[in-house]
Amino acid sequence: MNLLESLRSANPELRLYSVFDPEFAPYGRVLQLPGAEALAAALENTPIPETGNCYRASEPALEALAAVEAAARSVYGGMPIQAGYCNGRGFALNAEEYHKCSEVNFSTTGLVLLLALPGDLHDRRLDAADVAGFYLPPRIAVELHPLVLHFAPCRVRETGFNCLVLLTRGTNGPLPAVNTAAPGEEALLWMANKWMLCHPDSPQARKGAFVGISGENLRLALPG
């Protein structure tokens, strides 16, 4: 039994696919990045915390790589971008966010992305039952389409995950103010180019983020 099949057996309540399955097409696409070996070597030098997750929006060692420069041209059309990472041992849904630009992810560990489509969001509310999981194998790059809901990846091994994150420059930067009581979409605006809603049982809810996810706070169980 391969890893994806084992994850499916351990998580029968979750729709779980590979990024190579046709079900991924509405959410994103698999990319071919030249220079992926150097990118993998650099990403493996980024730290994985013992608990929780860590996020760094901009890492100069990653931004200097040919694979990142290629993605800036082919995915972002020459717009300024930032290359950072989200590494950790997380395994829960907790929240979903979207950007009004693509996001490129690449990992050397493998991971699962918990995703939802823009059409799954109704009046600033998302049912966790509409979230699907997608296994991203090691050394595979994907582009998530703009507005696709996503959050920190889930680990597929006890040793955690690493994940490259490419975005237009300035995304996830601080805002002068946040108003989760605002009408409409503005209530979800949590950071620059980051609209987020969270589950009531999440750490993000305790920080004051907009609560808009109903149902189970999904958790990815490891096989065996």
65-98: per-residue pLDDT in tens?
999 999 999 999 999 999 999 999 999 999 999 9
For all residues of the chain together, what is the average pLDDT? 97
Please report which confidence band the pLDDT of residue 224 belongs to, taking 50, 70 and 90 as the band edges: confident
Percent share of the chain, pLDDT over 70: 100
- CB under 8 Å to 137, separation ≥6 — which residues? 18, 19, 110
Residue 189 has pLDDT above 70, yes or no: yes
Cα–Cα distance between 89 and 204 in angstroms, integer? 17
Cα–Cα distance between 203 and 181 in angstroms, integer? 19
CB 96 within 8 A of CB 182: no
95-114: per-residue pLDDT in tens?
999 999 999 999 999 999 99
CB 149 within 8 A of CB 94: no
Structure tokens at 198: 């969270």
8-28: per-residue pLDDT in tens?
999 999 999 999 999 999 999
117: nearest Cα among 8, 23, 193, 54: 23
The CATH number fitting domain 3-214, selected from 1.20.1070, 1.20.120, 2.60.120, 2.40.10: 2.60.120
Residue 1 has pLDDT above 80, yes or no: no
135-151: per-residue pLDDT in tens?
999 999 999 999 999 99
**Mean pLDDT, rounded, for 152-176:** 98
Phi and psi at residue 2, to the nearest 5°: -80, 175
Cα–Cα distance between 75 and 65 in angstroms, integer? 15
34-48: per-residue pLDDT in tens?
999 999 999 999 999
- CB under 8 Å to 69, separation ≥6 — which residues? none
- Map out the domains of the chain as residue ranges: 3-214
